[in-house]
Each structure stands twice: as C-alpha cells, then as structure tokens.
C-alpha cells in the first residue's frame, strides 16, 4: 500500500533510484517541483482532465494516474480542456478509436491558445503500432504516448518530456514487473476496484485484448489482501476484484491458488462489506466458486458472465470453448444454488458467418437465462485478430437490424426479471445524490440494481435497509427502513 512517508524519504538531489516504487516517487517529486514553477508562471492552480474510455481496468488505471498528477499539484476538472489532458484509451471496438481522433481534433485549437498545455495518450489503443504511427504523423501536438504496461511510469515519462521539450513515445510490447505501493485516488471514497490480475490468455478470435494487455499475470494474494485491508482502514466498504478473466486467477503463481480461495481470504478481511468481481469466463467458472458465492455473506449475488453468442458453432469459431448447452447448464446451476443471483452478460451481434438461424439461438438464450442486463455490441473487425481474416463478414444493414431486435429482447427480459425483489426490504449501498432530484439518494443493491429513495448526503457510503416499493423497468423507488438511518434523513 502507498505510504506517504516512504515517498517523503526519497532524495531528489542525486540520481534516480533503480528500483520501484522509489524510482517513481523520485520522478513524482521532480515533476512536482516543475509544476510549482508552472503554477507561478500561470498565476493560478494547474488543472487536469482525465478522460477514460473502456472497462473497469482502465478506470482503475486512471485512478492511479490521477493520484500521481494530483501529487504534482494538478487539480481535477470535469472540463474537457485543462493544463494536462490525458486520454486513457480503449481499442476493443473501432468506434472507441474514432472517438479519440475526434477529441484530439477538438484539442488542437486549444493547444494553440495555451502552448503550455500537455496532451497525453495512454492505454490499450496505444499498444497498436498503426495507431501510434498515425499519431506521430498527424497529431504532432500530442506530448506523451505510452501503453498499458508502463502506466505506472507516468511521472518518469512526463519528466523526460519536460526535460527534453520533445514528444515522448514509450510503448512496451511486453509487460515487465507488477509494481506495488503506488498511490491511488478513488473516485468514490467508499468503493474501489482492486486489480488481482492483468492480461488475458484466452485469445477469443474477435478480441484484441490479449494483444494489447499481454499474457495473464496474477498478483500475489498477500499483496491483494494487504491492499484491501488498508483500503478498509481508509473507509472502503465495497471492492471490485478486477481481471480480464478472474476465474483463472492464481494459476501462474509460484504457489498456485484458485480464485475461489482468494475470495475466501478476502471475505475474512474485517470491515469489508461487499465483494464484487469482474469478468468471469464461463469455461473456467468452477463449482468451488459457486459454493463460495453461495455460502458468503459478503460476495454480492451478481455475476457478469459474457455469453457472446448463443450458437455453439459460432462459439467454436469465437474460440470460447463452451457450447450453448454448457452455458445454459451453468446458468441453471447458478440460479439453483444462489436463487437471488442476478446474471448479466455481453453479446456480440454480426460475428463473421452469423446467419439468421444462429442469431435466433442467441435470442433464445437471452429468453431462457433471463439476464438482468446485457451489454450488446456490434461486431467490430480488429486488425490482427483471427476473426478479421474470416470470410462472410455480415453486411452492416443486416447486423443493425439484428442488433435492434436483440436490444428490444434484452430490455423486455431485463424488465421482467430485475423487478423480482419488489416489496421486499434490502440492503443498499448509498452512492450519490440523485442526478435529477436532489431530495433523492441513489444506491445499489448487492445484485447491482439501482435504487432511488428520499435521504440526505450524510448517508453516502453507508449501507442502509430500504423497502423496494415501486419497480420502474430497471430501477426501484423505495424508502429507508431502519431507525437510525431514518434519523439521518
Ligand atoms: N467486436 C465487438 N465486441 C467486442 N468485444 C470484444 N471484442 C469485440 C469486437 N471485436 C466485446 C465482448 C467483450 C466486451 C468487453 O467487448 O462482448 O465481452
Ligand atoms: Fe477478450 Fe476473450 Fe480475453 Fe475477454 S476472455 S478479454 S473477450 S480474449
């Protein structure tokens, strides 16, 4: 865990330390000195705008980078333009890349007005050689480019840029060490993600992630537990254990351990109230894990279990290594063992070769499983993946029409199943003041469904009991039940 005293102890007069995290502490302090001068020159505090695309892993990386920049003196702003603009990119689908180019176009003029502005790009899209070449060629005003493997080196890369006055492009093909004990700045004080592993070894044929995030690496369980204990001491009540494929956690460690065993250990951390995890691969979801979830009071009854397609032959082409029947059996087992569980999923429409008959099987599975929500994606061809070279890419209009039908089915099914706790009293973790009505608070049930109810800001971060009085399609309206929480209203 990050210890401020250790950072303070680093001497910045001499050479940079060779080892991490001290080396990054050194550069954080060097950049802070520089930022203090910059602030004087500007005559106002420096601002940062960190914009994150993509998944929870990127969100977590952004929390880490925010902390590093905040230490230097940058203040967060929600404005798209700031003294330091950082895009943490995603490349899972092509439109995520297009978004970045659009935003860079917008920034170009602002940088002309404020030449001291720093523009940085990092994350998955930067692991793609063609994209980096394009940025070098056509976006000369970008100051820093780095990838997914060296995010922890933000301070060092920035310092190099400041010293040289030139753009720094530093993208690694392979990951090196897992660096512990760097600072993090949580978006919510009471909830955060905790990385348990990095990378993916599955090579689903459509997916670029294994190429941009590298091979699977797990953190040591002791490091994870140490981090969670420190987070709890700092006010966290809910953690989300993060990995591309958490079900294969621990397999590559010197002393292998299962994900289920890790969960048992996390459960023992005193003070942690809710444990979530993301993402599970159906092929690796063990009976041991189902039993741990069933017997746990802290693991939330929610499982995000990407289906991708309901047709076995398409699943084989996708290299998913399960069939429609195996998925259905797994869903059935989960619902039998954990009746209150909510299942959510990801589905891709228009994978190469997908026929109307194939698509109907996906629709079938949606109806049979009864997902609370499903994230539906139009297949996007990613250069370098096996699926990009497959014949029979489905015409755009056919995919769009299927996508619309699927969306409708997903919404209808979700509306039917997510209301199953209507007229019961459930625990809600209070997250924020309602966006539309400041008399209401917004929170989540263990199974992730949203609840709005009358209350005050004093409840944020607390777990309260709420009666679920009305169901509105995908959220509940309710009222607080327990006495002391009523008093806080
Ligand atoms: N096209 C469309 N969707 C994709 N996903 C991953 N790769 C692609 C692609 N090439 C989706 C999968 C995955 C989610 C994170 O993104 O459904 O589960
Ligand atoms: Fe991509 Fe498949 Fe790995 Fe998920 S499990 S990140 S879809 S390769």
Nearest CA residue ID for atom 14, ligand 1: 346
For residue 488, the model assigns a pLDDT of 52
Which ligand lies nearest the alpha carbon of 202? 2
Tell me how far the alpha carbon of residue 211 lies from the centroid of ligand 1, in angstroms. Answer: 14
Tell me how far the alpha carbon of residue 324 lies from the centroid of ligand 2, in angstroms. Answer: 18
Tell me how far the alpha carbon of residue 222 lies from the centroid of ligand 2, in angstroms. Answer: 26
Q: Which residues line ligand 1 (CB under 6 A)?
A: 92-93, 206-207, 306, 308, 346, 348, 377, 379-380, 382
Q: What is the distance between the alpha carbons of residues 336 and 331, in angstroms, rounded to a whole number?
A: 9
For residue 176, the model assigns a pLDDT of 84
Q: How would you class 34 by CB atoms within 10 Å of its CB: exposed for 0-12, middle for 13-18, buried for 19 or more?
A: middle
For residue 2, the model assigns a pLDDT of 83
pTM: 0.92
Tell me how far the alpha carbon of residue 293 lies from the centroid of ligand 1, in angstroms. Answer: 26
- In angstroms, what is the C-alpha Rg of the chain? 23
User: How many residues appear in the chain?
Assistant: 489
* CA–CA distances in Å: residue 147 to residues 59, 88, 126, 396: 15, 9, 5, 31
In this structure, are residues 167 and 140 in contact, taking their beta carbons and an 8 Å threshold? Answer: yes
Residues 131-160: b if buried by 16+ CB within 10 A, e if exposed: bbeebeeebeebbbbbbbbbbbbbbbbbbe
Can you tell me which atom of ligand 1 is nearest the CA of 206?
Answer: 10
Q: What is the distance between the alpha carbons of residues 356 and 69, in angstroms, rounded to a whole number?
A: 50
Q: Give the residue, out of 56, 207, 386, with the most ligand 2 atoms within 8 A of its beta carbon, to mutate for a pocket test.
A: 207
DSSP string, 284-319: G--HHHHHHHHH-SSB-SEEE---B-S-HHHHHHTT
For residue 181, the model assigns a pLDDT of 82
Q: What is the distance between the alpha carbons of residues 434 and 427, in angstroms, rounded to a whole number?
A: 18
Q: What is the distance between the alpha carbons of residues 126 and 133, in angstroms, rounded to a whole number?
A: 10
- List the helix and strand counts (H, then E) for the chain: 15, 19
For residue 309, the model assigns a pLDDT of 98
Q: How would you class 474 by CB atoms within 10 Å of its CB: exposed for 0-12, middle for 13-18, buried for 19 or more?
A: middle
Which ligand lies nearest the alpha carbon of 307? 1
Can you tell me which atom of ligand 1 is nearest the CA of 378?
Answer: 2
Residue 461 region, left (φ>0) first, then alpha (ψ -120 to 50), else beta?
Answer: left
Q: Which two tokens stand for residue 448?
A: 């992730």
Q: What is the distance between the alpha carbons of residues 214 and 143, in angstroms, rounded to a whole number?
A: 25
Nearest CA residue ID for atom 16, ligand 1: 92
For residue 483, the model assigns a pLDDT of 59
Q: What is the mean pLDDT of each run of 10 residues along the chain (489 residues)?
A: 86 94 96 98 97 93 95 96 97 93 93 94 96 96 96 97 97 88 88 95 96 93 96 96 96 96 98 97 95 97 98 98 98 96 97 98 97 97 95 95 98 94 96 95 96 96 96 94 61
């Amino acid at each position: 865990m990050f210890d401020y005293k250790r950072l303070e102890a680093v001497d910045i007069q001499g050479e940079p330390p060779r080892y991490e995290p001290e080396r990054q502490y050194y550069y954080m302090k060097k950049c802070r000195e520089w930022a203090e001068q910059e602030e004087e020159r500007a005559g106002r505090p420096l601002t940062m705008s960190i914009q994150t695309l993509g998944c929870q892993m990127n969100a977590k990386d952004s929390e880490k980078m925010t902390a590093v920049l905040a230490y230097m003196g940058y203040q967060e702003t929600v404005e798209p333009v700031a003294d330091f603009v950082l895009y943490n990119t995603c490349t899972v689908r092509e439109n995520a890349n297009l978004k970045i180019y659009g935003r860079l176009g917008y920034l170009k003029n602002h940088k002309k007005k404020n030449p001291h502005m720093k523009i940085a790009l990092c994350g998955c899209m930067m692991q793609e050689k063609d994209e980096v070449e394009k940025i070098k060629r056509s976006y000369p005003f970008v100051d820093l480019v780095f990838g997914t493997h060296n995010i922890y080196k933000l301070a060092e890369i920035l310092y190099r840029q400041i010293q040289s006055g030139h753009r720094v492009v530093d993208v690694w093909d392979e990951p090196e060490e897992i660096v512990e004990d760097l600072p993090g700045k949580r978006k919510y004080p009471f909830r955060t993600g905790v990385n348990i592993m990095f990378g993916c070894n599955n090579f689903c044929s459509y997916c670029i992630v294994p190429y941009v995030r590298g091979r699977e690496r797990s953190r040591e369980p002791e490091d994870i537990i140490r981090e969670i204990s420190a987070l709890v001491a700092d006010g966290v009540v809910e953690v989300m254990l993060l990995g591309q494929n958490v079900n294969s956690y621990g397999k590559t460690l010197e002393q292998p351990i299962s994900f289920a065993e890790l969960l048992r250990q996390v459960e023992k951390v005193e003070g942690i109230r809710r444990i979530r995890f993301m993402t599970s691969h159906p092929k690796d979801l063990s009976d041991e894990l189902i039993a741990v979830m069933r017997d746990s009071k802290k693991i939330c009854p929610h499982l995000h279990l990407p289906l991708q397609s309901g047709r076995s032959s398409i699943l084989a082409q996708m290299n998913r290594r399960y069939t429609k029947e195996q998925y259905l059996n797994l869903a059935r087992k989960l619902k039998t063992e954990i009746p209150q569980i909510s299942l959510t999923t990801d589905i891709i429409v228009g994978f190469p070769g997908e026929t109307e008959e194939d698509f109907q099987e996906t629709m079938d599975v949606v109806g049979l499983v009864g997902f609370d929500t499903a994230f539906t994606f139009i297949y996007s061809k990613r250069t370098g993946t096996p699926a990009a070279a497959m014949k029979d890419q489905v015409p755009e209009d056919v995919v769009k029409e299927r996508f619309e039908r699927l969306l409708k089915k997903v919404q209808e099914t979700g509306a039917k199943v997510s209301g199953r706790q209507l007229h019961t009293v459930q625990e809600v973790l209070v997250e924020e003041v309602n966006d539309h009505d400041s008399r209401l608070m917004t929170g989540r049930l263990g199974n992730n469904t949203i609840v709005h109810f009358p209350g005050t800001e004093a409840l944020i971060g607390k777990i309260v009991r709420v009666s679920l009085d009305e169901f509105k399609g995908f959220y509940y309206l309710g009222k607080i039940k327990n006495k002391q929480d009523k008093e806080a209203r």
